Structure 1
Amino acid sequence: MIDRSCRQFAEALAARQPVPGGGGAAAYAGALGAALCAMVARFDEGKPALTALSDELARAIREADAIRADLLALVDEDAAAYALVSAAYAVPRGDPERPARIEAALHEAVRPPYKIMQACARAIELLEGLSHSCSRLLLSDVGCGAMLCRGALDAANLTVCVNTASMRDRDHARSIDEDCVRLLGEWEPRAQAIADHAIGVMKKGQSHG
């Protein structure tokens, strides 16, 4: 899936087929957010005024590239997890193994979107650091990256919920849902604060222009 062009991926997403779906789209959006993070850090790397931040920028590039790779891999991982769920629900209703197969598939299917949420949180943290050190001309890119990661975070959470809602093991489902609520509670406001900071700085610059 991830080897397709942007156009091909969008066309596949629009097609009357289950994958790629919301989970894959979330992973791809998060990967774009992480890519913007790496781009900003690369533009700032080597600037004389930011010499003191050279180690931090190198780390940001390294980690953002790794997050992007993880999220792109999760596009395919999410599709594979959906295939397991689809196959489990296709088992005849009279088969005594059907409930257990469905439950096992749901437990697997919840992993990719949960990992997407965790990866997006890591990207938001990197973007947060860059938002206070990067060039004003790059702030809009930092803000865009944060908003893409926030959208991916929210979208992945929906994909988690659609799977936990069908689990028979309600204690396990509740535990996952609570972890997701914690992730959203911490990282949504932090992503929004990055965008708000970028807008504030840009508007302040306009007022003095």
Structure 2
Amino acid sequence: MKSIRRPRSRSRPCNRSSMPGYGVDPLQLADATLKQLIDELGARTPAPGGGAAASVTAAVGSALGAMVINWSLTRKSLQEHRESNQRHLDALQAGASRSLQLADEDARAYESLNTIMKLPEDDATRLAEWDTAVEAAMAPPVETLRLCAEMAANLAGLAGTTNPMLKSDLAAAAVLVEAGGRTAAWNIHANLPLIGEARAVELTGEAQTLLTELRRIATEVEQACR
């Protein structure tokens, strides 16, 4: 979700239908080609934005970690780790798939919130649906950050249980998963003004905790791969 601000009563709400490229069915990022994804991210449109970038980056990191394990499952010298490696592989593959879904969910949630923002501030529908719409728009980056922490946990320790020829790929996977989480955290931070103070404090605390863990694991994986 690209950063937005609650409009003032005299300001003109963002109208996506008047923006270039809007008015057609949004691209399903999970099914997009790499070029389509890059073109969409770089376009002068409200979405996809940082939220989608965070989720896609997390997916790439998770997939790279899965590749490392796939090249290790049949290696004779690593058979004692096969069962645990398989569990991590299943988790990373599921994480990559879910991350791509979150990229699309982020864009859809922003669209719903934008519709609410077009209404006058004293409109009954806006007043009734604002909190729900904002929370729904915040949900994808929050889940992405949580998912990145989970994926990082699945990468931890793999340097000693996977093909040593792929240590650079494993390190890159950890770096990318951390980057996805950090990007998601920035999306959360940018939109905290849209929610209540208590909820903002709660999310800020959770984000800081998850980021600390992400950085710790990514650093440990990189050091183990040197």
The superposition leaves residues 38-72 of structure 1 with CA deviations (integer Å, 9 ceiling, x where unpaired) of 10111000111011111011112111111111101
More off after superposition, 127-136 vs 17-26: 127-136
1:23 aligned partner: 51
Name the CA distance, whole Å, in 1 between partners of 2:222 and 2:103: 26
**Number of residues of Structure 1 aligned to a counterpart in Structure 2:** 198
1:185 aligned partner: 212
Does residue 114 of structure 2 align to residue 86 of structure 1? yes
The equivalent position to 1:141 in structure 2, one of 165, 169, 191, is: 169
Q: Percent identity?
A: 28
Which AA in structure 2 matches 1:163?
N
2:181 aligned partner: 153
The superposition leaves residues 100-156 of structure 1 with CA deviations (integer Å, 9 ceiling, x where unpaired) of 433321111111111101111111111112122222210100110101111100000
Name the CA distance, whole Å, in 1 between partners of 2:57 and 2:198: 31
Name the CA distance, whole Å, in 2 between partners of 1:196 and 1:47: 23
Deviation at 1:188, TM superposition (A): 1.4
Which AA in structure 1 matches 2:207?
C
Say whether the 8 Å CA contact 2:157–2:221 is kept in structure 1: no
Q: CA RMSD in A?
A: 1.4
Does residue 126 of structure 2 align to residue 103 of structure 1? no
Name the CA distance, whole Å, in 1 between partners of 2:190 and 2:127: 17
More helix by share: 1
Matches within 5 A, 1:162-181: 162-167=190-195, 169-181=196-208
1:195 aligned partner: 222
Say whether the 8 Å CA contact 1:106–1:164 is kept in structure 2: no
Say whether the 8 Å CA contact 1:109–1:163 is kept in structure 2: no
Which AA in structure 1 matches 2:215?
E
Matches within 5 A, 1:61-76: 61-76=89-104
Deviation at 1:176, TM superposition (A): 1.4
5+ residue gaps, structure 1, are: 201-209
Does residue 68 of structure 2 align to residue 40 of structure 1? yes
Which AA in structure 1 matches 2:192?
T
2:23 aligned partner: none
5+ residue gaps, structure 2, are: 1-27
- Report the TM-score, using the length of structure 1 for normalisation: 0.90
Does residue 142 of structure 2 align to residue 117 of structure 1? no
